[in-house]
């Protein structure tokens, strides 16, 4: 149940660790959604920077919940978000990315209208100007690199029923944990579709310690 005492239809989960510089943009992108009825759960994975101070002004909004834990890594923190979410439908937002204003309404409508268990959304890629598009290790073939825009799944475009994510074990503590979860959901036979129109802004390489950046260096 949310802070307002009502049960929201959708929970957006953000896991953050030492991203105080970028977190306000992520938070505002959630609060500016064109569908105002949701819960926003921020899981602070043991940040040592000014994250608590950054979050505090937003806690006056009854839709925002803040959980602070010891550092356990992104996959486990995401699973904590799944456990603590009040809604039956859950989406995700990395703390250095943003949702487009219609993300919640569009994906929520698609999920409900199609009777799907989960969706795979699409993202708008934002990289530093002036250089070639980065390449990352391919989940399906670790010997090759692919352009970032060809990544099949990132955490922020997974959207679906909480019990479905949990039924397959949630996020595992491995590289490419988001694509790994997507593959397990497909193999389990859950009903899904891909939403082609982007609703998510993916700032690749914005945080130099991101998992995505480390994957550009993987061989």
| 110-166 residue pLDDT tens | 999 999 999 999 999 999 776 678 899 999 999 999 999 999 999 999 999 999 999
Q: First vs last Cα of the chain: how many Å apart?
A: 44
- Does 217 score more than 70 pLDDT? no
What is the distance, to the nearest Å, from the Cα of residue 164 to the centroid of all Cα atoms in its chain?
Answer: 16
**Local structure of 201: helix, strand or coil:** strand
pLDDT of residue 139: 96
Q: Which two tokens stand for residue 89?
A: 């439908």
Structure confidence at residue 41 as a pLDDT band (50, 70, 90):
very high
Residue 213 has pLDDT above 60, yes or no: no
Q: Does pLDDT of 175 surpass 90?
A: yes
| pLDDT on residue 128 | 77
Say what the pTM is.
Answer: 0.92
Q: In this predicted structure, what is the pLDDT of residue 133?
A: 80
**Distances from the Cα of 191 to the Cα of 17, 78, 111, 118, 135, angstroms:** 33, 22, 10, 7, 30
């Amino acid at each position: 149940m949310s802070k307002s005492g009502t049960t929201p239809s959708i929970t957006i989960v953000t896991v953050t660790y030492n991203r105080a510089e970028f977190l306000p943009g992520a938070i505002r992108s959630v609060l500016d959604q064109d569908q105002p009825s949701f819960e926003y759960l921020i899981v602070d994975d043991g940040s040592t920077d000014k994250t608590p101070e950054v979050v505090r002004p937003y806690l006056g909004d009854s839709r925002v919940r803040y959980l602070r834990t010891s550092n356990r890594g992104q996959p486990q923190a995401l699973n904590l978000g799944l456990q603590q979410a009040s809604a039956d439908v859950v989406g995700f937002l990395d703390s250095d990315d943003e949702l487009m204003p219609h993300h919640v309404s569009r994906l929520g409508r698609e999920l409900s209208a199609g009777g799907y268990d989960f969706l795979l959304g699409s993202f708008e890629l934002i990289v530093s100007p002036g250089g070639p598009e980065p390449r990352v290790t391919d989940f399906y073939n670790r010997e090759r690199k692919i352009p970032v825009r060809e990544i099949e799944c990132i955490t922020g475009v997974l959207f679906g029923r909480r019990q479905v994510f949990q039924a397959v074990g949630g996020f595992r503590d491995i590289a490419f944990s988001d694509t790994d979860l997507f593959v397990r959901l497909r193999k389990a036979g859950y009903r899904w579709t891909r939403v082609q129109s982007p609703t998510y802004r993916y700032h690749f390489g914005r945080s130099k310690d991101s998992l995505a950046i480390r994957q550009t260096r993987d061989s």
